[in-house]
Structure 1
């Protein structure tokens, strides 16, 4: 009997499948056949059944329809409907006169066992039954006018013919008869295709690879098993899932992917073509950059963590962190810049940065860049002229410093102190003069140098200046 296959649809509605008993087509004229409208066991009870031939409603409201003493006019494409379900797939039924009649199952799929029958009227002796496929004799043995071909694939499709000799008592001899029909073996399921989502796949994405196939409409509830390969190596063994998921795709997940589909027994098995999947970087490895090749003390220094997002993920939010000599100087934030308003010598060091997604699923660190802060000017020194100061001498005290070669036009201001007390306020002059030194001008002298904005300010060491009394 034709195997019943149940097709589920949304909700309570089911798509039924037709089966025939006996499971042959064509049927000899005058014989009967029973059609059954099979539904899933979970379908609601007390369903109202409807029957159709060639798209037109015919009498009958039960689950089975008996076509009794069939005639040629009963031939056609039959369908049934259970309740509010969709109609079943078409099943062809032909009533035929004459003999022999070559009979085959109305629906044959790869993996099925196929038998053919060379039917003659009962009561007539027959012999020498021979079957042909595409005009070539089939060598398989014939029993009771039936040819058991066995398990078949789509290559079994073709034009089949049977011939036999039938004895006629009236003429007291055997006469030669034959019949033929086209037998089509359908795919149980289509060759699978590997598909990937999203496409393209960016590093860190949840990647889903689907082994996409389609079951025959007559076998939509057949259980299938799926297996996945990357570069020929199994990454997910046979299971009922047609998907292979990678929660956070990495560059090493790139490769040539294939999948296979089989029935649980492995009798029908098909492999997809290769799909090459290249995992794209979500963002490039960052580069750390500094706003100026030469950073001088007091400069506003900006360090940038430079990276580039994939064109397909340009709206992805990234977080940045900065390190100096391995110590965190700016924690994770949305800013790719770390600013130092007034760089000092102690800001020199080995800088790196890291970039990550907000979830931390993708994280990359830059190479090291060494930043050396240059002095804007050297620490000042107190110098005095003359070296030996005698009471009444003109004394010149100089606050001596040297500007960086890159900043020689910077304006500096100078201030002088004796014994901690200001003796000459900030001015552009780096000298403090005493026209006629007196003993009370002796003391501990220091000076300071600063930029006009006081961003950089340095004080000299202390110098002791002693005024000697005039000799008489």
Structure 2
């Protein structure tokens, strides 16, 4: 008969999970197999101390009468014990054999322990040449030994036996023991992987526990643990802690998890069953766009920050930013975060519009509400122009000051100044603004303006204005100057006058004398100097714009009657010489850049009482124009005349 030493034979229903540690059952002598007729003492202990109170003993399913912590047995069977402070011990099979040769194994034996095998004859002095076998094969170095040691045994189905020569007076015979299955008690049960959740939410923490219990009979054994997902080791590998904290679980972390527990000596290792963990993803919700500066009110040149956030959402979230009307997105970012931002550097006027953002974590994009962004443009340096009714500003004229900034967001407030004294202001929703001023002698000087739309004021260049006399004096001055001219040209040659007449006629036909207008003024207006031009501190920066051209002296046509003479002198052109306009009158003598040059045409005067002469000459008027028109050479007047 085979001797079976079972690791764990429990009476059904006797042991309950989660109760006190198992009791420990010891044998004395410490052999699980002995000869019939001998006695074996069984001792029940709890946590390395003798059992307190009553002890229950079982052989198989039968309850024994003794309640002491020690009993003596003489019959084969599976024995268990239980105390008031412990659960049932592992079953121990004790065999009482009637054979002459037996193989004994020490007890107790745990996984990873060394076990002693002893080949014993009933009258052992006659047993010689002992040999040990495992699964039918002789163990190395096991010949003629009373006992051998097996290192780090495990719970397997290996069977052992031994042989010996039995010496007698007449003959020698070979004896074979029965097979022995070594009872190896479990050092710790197969671990179980516990998870804080089998369906964790993406982004949440997870705790993995490799759960097992070391035998109380082996309190000095140390275990270490390791955790795995599929074939990948998690964390730092082996650790003395049976727990592993995972800060955040993500969709890609879904899969098969398991753990291992082993002794630090690597003698015993056990792995848990595999557990499936599925990480659930939370769709994004409540997408919100925030713009800095707050409210989306920006000044051209500033940086803009677009912040897109979601109230909920797990895993990798793809954020994108958009402006209505734009084909492509402004930017995209994918990250494990509930918030992302995009910076737009140096915004321009074209960046104004309605903005929104979108967030997506595989379930589909969710859009935010739209926010309007306005870009205000600071005003540029304004241009000041002065507009007078005539070529020369005189007392009594109505002067218009016009200030306009080429760029700037409306509304713009314009301020007008005369010698840094405020004249007035005007607000313009678009374009420039004007201010009218009735001139007095005190209004000569420098004028300027500034423009401000709340983003910083800009000042124009200064423009100088000279106000002279009155509108009545303008005619008297001109007449006096013309009289002087008539006296100085009486002796000029007729041939030169004729040539000048042809030149004047040609220029009148081609429009060369009138480049900017056809306004007509009295003879006294011709000699008024043009409006004073402001000084220029930077020769490359223009001070005057289009209104300065309006202030140049225009072509003048006026008649002068020298008195009782029969001639009329018609002034063709009166212009002030400067370097800028000298090219417009190339035939004029340019002795001084500031001279006034005047052209006069001589016209014979027709008397009212000469009607007969008119009738006789009517048919020949066009045949001899030189009889009526005679050019007088141009002369120059100093500007201070």
Could you say which TM-score interval applies, normalised by the shorter chain?
0.5 to 0.7
Q: Structure 1 438/166 Cα, relative in aligned 2: closer, same or farther at 3 Å?
A: same
Q: Structure 1 219/39 Cα, relative in aligned 2: closer, same or farther at 3 Å?
A: closer
Provide the C-alpha distance between the structure 2 equivalents of 1:45 and 1:109, rounded to a whole number of angstroms.
21
Residues 84-111 of structure 1: CA deviation (Å, up to 9, x unaligned): 4222222222333333222223543344
Provide the C-alpha distance between the structure 1 equivalents of 2:315 and 2:56, rounded to a whole number of angstroms.
53
> What corresponds to 2:63 in structure 1?
57
Deviation at 1:291, TM superposition (A): 8.4
Matched, 1:128 2:129: yes
Q: Secondary structure, in 3 states, of the residue corresponding to 2:178?
A: strand
Instruction: Give me the TM-score of the superposition, normalised by structure 1.
Output: 0.57
| Among 368, 376, 381, the residue aligned to 1:379 | 381
> What corresponds to 1:403 in structure 2?
407
Provide the C-alpha distance between the structure 2 equivalents of 1:177 and 1:93, rounded to a whole number of angstroms.
20
Q: Structure 1 176/158 Cα, relative in aligned 2: closer, same or farther at 3 Å?
A: same
Deviation at 1:157, TM superposition (A): 6.0
Instruction: Give me the TM-score of the superposition, normalised by structure 2.
Output: 0.44
Q: Structure 1 205/445 Cα, relative in aligned 2: closer, same or farther at 3 Å?
A: farther
Q: Which runs of 5+ in 1 are unaligned?
A: 1-8, 249-257, 274-287, 315-333, 345-372, 405-409
Provide the C-alpha distance between the structure 2 equivalents of 1:95 and 1:336, rounded to a whole number of angstroms.
80
Q: Structure 1 153/102 Cα, relative in aligned 2: closer, same or farther at 3 Å?
A: closer
Residues 73-131 of structure 1: CA deviation (Å, up to 9, x unaligned): xx12x222221422222222233333322222354334423222233323772333322
Provide the C-alpha distance between the structure 2 equivalents of 1:425 and 1:177, rounded to a whole number of angstroms.
127
Kindly indicate whether the alpha-carbon contact (under 8 Å) linking 1:99 and 1:179 is maintained by their aligned counterparts in 2. Answer: no
Deviation at 1:220, TM superposition (A): 4.9
Deviation at 1:433, TM superposition (A): 4.5
Provide the C-alpha distance between the structure 1 equivalents of 2:217 and 2:402, rounded to a whole number of angstroms.
103
Q: Secondary structure, in 3 states, of the residue corresponding to 2:395?
A: coil
Deviation at 1:60, TM superposition (A): 2.2
> What corresponds to 1:20 in structure 2?
27
Task: Please state which structure has a larger fraction of its residues in helix.
Answer: 2
Q: Structure 1 178/53 Cα, relative in aligned 2: closer, same or farther at 3 Å?
A: closer
Q: Structure 1 300/124 Cα, relative in aligned 2: closer, same or farther at 3 Å?
A: closer
> What corresponds to 1:311 in structure 2?
314
Matched, 1:119 2:93: no
> What corresponds to 1:221 in structure 2?
219
Deviation at 1:398, TM superposition (A): 1.9
> What corresponds to 1:35 in structure 2?
42
Kindly indicate whether the alpha-carbon contact (under 8 Å) linking 2:47 and 2:217 is maintained by their aligned counterparts in 1. Answer: no
Task: Please state which structure has a larger fraction of its residues in strand.
Answer: 1
Deviation at 1:63, TM superposition (A): 2.1
Q: Structure 1 151/338 Cα, relative in aligned 2: closer, same or farther at 3 Å?
A: closer
Provide the C-alpha distance between the structure 2 equivalents of 1:159 and 1:11, rounded to a whole number of angstroms.
34
Residues 183-208 of structure 1: CA deviation (Å, up to 9, x unaligned): 3656746899999999999xx99999
Provide the C-alpha distance between the structure 2 equivalents of 1:260 and 1:87, rounded to a whole number of angstroms.
25
Provide the C-alpha distance between the structure 2 equivalents of 1:412 and 1:246, rounded to a whole number of angstroms.
60
> What corresponds to 2:439 in structure 1?
437
Q: Structure 1 272/44 Cα, relative in aligned 2: closer, same or farther at 3 Å?
A: closer
- More off after superposition, 86-95 vs 31-40: 86-95
User: Radius of gyration: which is bigger?
Assistant: 2
- More off after superposition, 296-305 vs 49-58: 296-305
Kindly indicate whether the alpha-carbon contact (under 8 Å) linking 1:191 and 1:270 is maintained by their aligned counterparts in 2. Answer: no
> What corresponds to 1:297 in structure 2?
299
Provide the C-alpha distance between the structure 2 equivalents of 1:198 and 1:467, rounded to a whole number of angstroms.
93
Provide the C-alpha distance between the structure 1 equivalents of 2:59 and 2:260, rounded to a whole number of angstroms.
41
Provide the C-alpha distance between the structure 2 equivalents of 1:136 and 1:114, rounded to a whole number of angstroms.
18
Report the count of equivalent residues.
367
Q: Which runs of 5+ in 2 are unaligned?
A: 1-15, 249-258, 273-289, 318-337, 349-374, 474-641
Deviation at 1:148, TM superposition (A): 0.7
The structure whose RCO (Cα within 8 Å, separation 6+) is larger is: 1
> What corresponds to 1:283 in structure 2?
none
